[in-house]
Structures are given as structure tokens and as C-alpha cells.
Structure 1
Amino acid sequence: MSLLDPFSRALAAVLAATHDGLSALGLPADSALTWLLCIGAVVVLVRTALLPFTVHGVRQAHAASRARPHLREIADRYRGRTDADSVRQMIAERRAVSAEHGVSRLGCLPLLVQLPVWLTLYHLISDVARGSAVGAMGPALVASLGAASLLGVSLAGTGYLGGGPAHLAVVLGLALTAAALSYATQKFFVAPNTVLDGMPEAVATAHRLMPTLSAVGLVVAGGVVPVALLGYWVLSSTWTLAQSAVVMRWFPTPGTEAARRPA
């Protein structure tokens, strides 16, 4: 039994319950629209549940930005002083500045908490699309998802080639849509709201390359994952873009390009 099994079964129950509800409202049980709405419901539920961690992350980014000039000044003042007393005093001063500005020493904890959820959601959609029953998503529902088709392309189908021009168009269209959303999010909403001053050049370069790398990665992955998972990526990327736009517009990180833009 995997440590992620409880999360997986909980999300499977949401997926199954949403499908039952939509079917009761008259939507076709084996329709791609029905299943994409089910996946969308899971995305909304998960992302809404994770909003407190998002808010915490925004607050920590603001706190770190306010503390950064003071921490840089301390580093400059103690540069070259390697004796034990200087090191202890520098650490104490850094801790005092971090505490004053509210910088948590567990700043990465929200991300670590979210990772199991992302992994579970990814594997759940992937496993069900490949025909594996998971919790409340029993064989009948798995078969229903497998029978659903988007413009004639099965939600369980994979790969760019082998299914004809329509299959290629649908899969490539979904992959390019997810890639475009990811690129736009990183390029126009995350990058302008990220402080790069004082970061090592390698880190700054990685940040500048992130929009392209994320987009290319999605296009490459689009050729090996089920169509249902591509649908999930499009829906999840749409939420991420909207969320990032809200953060940049109304809660920009101090010292960034986004914060300097006129309101």
C-alpha cells in the first residue's frame, strides 16, 4: 500500500461522485464532456483546498523581499570573517532580521505539503485513463472513461501518431494549449513577480529559461500520456494562469517589476 493511497481514493471518490451527479442531471455517462467536467471539478476542489498554502507562499515571498536588503547588508558586513564568533553573530543577526520581517524557516513547507496532492492527482487520472480501477473509480466507471471520445479520439488514447490526422490534431492541440498556458503563466505573470536581484547567476538563468522549458516539457510529455491527462493539464494550467494573474495584479512582491507597474 502506497502512502498516497488515501489521497488517491479520496480524489477517486470525488471523481466518481461528480460523474454520478452529472449523469443524474442528464449528461451522457460516456461523454468526453462529462468526464472533462468531472476532471475539472477535481481540479477546482483540489486547488481551492490548497489556497491557504498559496496565500502563505505569497506572504512569505513578500516577507523575504522585505528582508533581502537587510540580509544582503549583513552578508556584506561579515564577508571574509570566518572566525567562530563572527559566524555565530552573523547567524544571530540573520535570524533576528528574518523574525522581524516574518520570514519562516519552514518557507518550503507549503510546497512539500502540496507535492503529494499533485502526484496523487496526476497518477489517479493517468491510472484511470489507462484502465486501472482506483477506489470508487471501479471497472464500470473506468470503462466509461475509456469509451469517452473527444472529437473521435478516446480519452484513454496516447501518443501523437498511429490514430490518423484527427487523433494527431486533438492530441497536439491539447498539448500545445497546455504548453501555451504554462508559457504565458511563467513569462507574463510569474517572472515579473519574482525577485532575481542578488540571486546566483545560475538560478537567475534557470528562472529566465523556465517559460520555455515548461512549455517544451508539456509538448514532449503530450506524446506519451493519455488524452484525459492532457485535458487535466489544460484545466489545471488555466487555473494556475488565472491565480498567478490575480497575485501579480493585486498582491505583487515588493521590489519586482510587477510591483513597479502602475495600478
Structure 2
Amino acid sequence: MSPLEPISHALSGIVAGTHALAAALGLDPGGGAAWLLSIAGVVVVVRLALLPLAIRGVRQAHAGARARPHLKEVTERFRGRTDPESMRELFAARREVNAEHGISRLGCLPLLLQIPVWMALYHLLAQVAGGTAVGALTPALVASFGAATLAGVPLAAHGYLGGGAAHLAVVATLAGTAAALSFVTQRFVVAPNTVLADLPDAMVQAQQLMPLLSAAGLLLTGGIAPVALLAYWVCNAGWTLGQSAVITRWFPTPGSPAAARRAAAA
């Protein structure tokens, strides 16, 4: 059994439950609207479940920003000292600063815990689009999903080409919207809330390229992903934009341009 299978089965329950809710609200169970609502429901439930991890990530980012000047001071104090005793003192001093500011050694754990969820959801939608029943998504529901369309384009369809002009328009619109939302989030929301001072030039350049790379990646993978997955990307990117905007506006990282703007406006 794949390590992702339990997560996929749990996610399939969310999709099936949201689909049943859509049908109870009067939407055609076999229509594209009901299945798109199910996909949006997955985004809402999963992102709400992961919200505590996002909050922890914000707190760790703030702690790291507050500790950065002190860590720089420690590094300068031991600059040029490479003997074993000095290295032990350096690491001890860094640990002391991290503990003082509440920086966890597992600071990246919240992000790592989210990765299996995203992977499981991708595999779930890909399997269902391929006609495979998974967990609560029974063969009957999978058949209903396979027949559902968005503007005449099957939600299980793949790629930019092969389905005519309408197919190309739907896929390009979804992929382009997801890419645009990702670019706006990274370039105009996340970047102003990022502290780049004292970072190596390579890391600064990588941060500056991130919006374009993220958008380009979504456009490229749009050529192989099911239409349903593209719809998920749009919903998820919209949530990410809103969540990032709230963080940048009201909880900016200390030392970032966003924090400076908030202080000036106060």
C-alpha cells in the first residue's frame, strides 16, 4: 500500500461528502457545477485543516526575523575562528539565540507536513480522472465525474490540444488564471513580506525569480494535468493569495518592506 493511500482515501471522503452536499442543494449530481463545488470544498477543508501549520509558520518567520541581527552578531564575533573549540562555542551561541527567540529546530516541519497532502490530492484527482475508484469515490461517482464538463470540456480531459478550440480555451484559461494568481501572490504579496537583507546574492536572485518560475511551472504542467486539477489549482491559488494578503497586511515579518509600510501607516 502506498504511504499516500490513507490520505487519498480521506480526501476522497471530503470530495464525496461535498458532492453529496451539492446535490442536496439542488445541483445536478452529474453536472460540472456540482463537481467543481466538490473541488472547491476540498480546498476549503484542507486549507482550514492546515491553518494551524500556516500560523506556526508565520510565528517562526517572525522569530527568525527578530533573531537575525543577533545571529549575525554571533557570526561576526567568531569570524575567522575555525578551531574546534571556537566552532563549539559558535554553535552553542547560535542555539542560545534561537532558544531565546523561540525558533524551533523543526521550523520547516509545517511545510514538510503539507507536501504529502498536496501529493495525495494530486494522485486522487489524477486517478479519478483516469476512471479509477478511490475510497469514498465509488465507481458510480467516478463515472459521474468522467461525464461532467466545464463549458463543454470534460473535467477528466488532459492537455492543451486535441479537443478543439473550446477545449484549448478552457484549459488555457484555467492554467493562465492559476499562473497569474501565483505570480501576483509571489511578486506583490509574498515578496514585500520577505526579508532579503544579509542573504547571499544567489538566494536573493532565486527569490526574485520565484514568481516567474512558479507561474511558468503551472503553465507547463497545465499541458498534462486533468481539467479538474487545473480547477483545483485556481481555487487553491485564490486561497493562497487571500491568506498571504492577510498575513502581509496585518502580520508582516519584522524588518520586511511590508512591516515598514505598516509602521509608517500606524
Instruction: Bin the TM-score by the shorter chain.
Output: over 0.9
Q: TM-score, normalised by structure 2?
A: 0.97
2:25 corresponds to which residue? 25
Are residue 6 (structure 1) and residue 1 (structure 2) matched? no
Q: CA deviation at 1:153?
A: 0.4
Q: CA deviation at 1:161?
A: 1.0
1:186 corresponds to which residue? 186
- Write the mapping of 1:112-261 to structure 2, written as runs, cut at 5 A: 112-261=112-261
CA distance in 2, matches of 1:59, 1:25: 39
Cα deviation code 1:85-111 (max 9, x no counterpart)? 111111111111111111111101111
The letter for the 2-side match of 1:46 is V
Cα deviation code 1:229-254 (max 9, x no counterpart)? 00000000000000000000000000
Figure out how many residues of one structure are paired with residues of the other and give that number: 263
Cα deviation code 1:8-50 (max 9, x no counterpart)? 1011011112112221222101111110100111110000000
Which consecutive segments of 4 or more residues in structure 1 shift more than 4 A? none
Secondary structure at the aligned position of 2:162 is classed as coil
The letter for the 1-side match of 2:27 is L
Q: CA deviation at 1:199?
A: 1.3
1:69 corresponds to which residue? 69
2:50 corresponds to which residue? 50
CA distance in 1, matches of 2:44, 2:24: 21
1:41 corresponds to which residue? 41
Residue identity over aligned pairs, in percent, reads 62
CA distance in 2, matches of 1:126, 1:240: 22
Secondary structure at the aligned position of 1:191 is classed as helix
CA distance in 1, matches of 2:196, 2:233: 28
CA distance in 1, matches of 2:24, 2:73: 63
Secondary structure at the aligned position of 1:87 is classed as helix
Cα deviation code 1:179-226 (max 9, x no counterpart)? 000000000111111111111211111110000000011011111111
Are residue 90 (structure 1) and residue 126 (structure 2) matched? no
1:101 corresponds to which residue? 101
CA distance in 1, matches of 2:86, 2:237: 47
The letter for the 2-side match of 1:221 is T
CA distance in 2, matches of 1:126, 1:177: 20
Consecutive unaligned residues in structure 2, runs of 5 or more: none
CA distance in 1, matches of 2:24, 2:189: 39
- Greater shift, 42-51 or 12-21, is seen at 12-21
CA distance in 2, matches of 1:15, 1:82: 56
What is the aligned-residue RMSD (CA, Å)? 0.9
1:78 corresponds to which residue? 78
CA distance in 2, matches of 1:24, 1:107: 42
CA distance in 1, matches of 2:131, 2:199: 46
Q: CA deviation at 1:53?
A: 0.4
CA distance in 2, matches of 1:217, 1:93: 41
CA distance in 2, matches of 1:183, 1:93: 39
Cα deviation code 1:38-72 (max 9, x no counterpart)? 01111100000000000000000000000001101
- Greater shift, 13-22 or 221-230, is seen at 13-22
CA distance in 1, matches of 2:127, 2:203: 35
The letter for the 2-side match of 1:67 is A
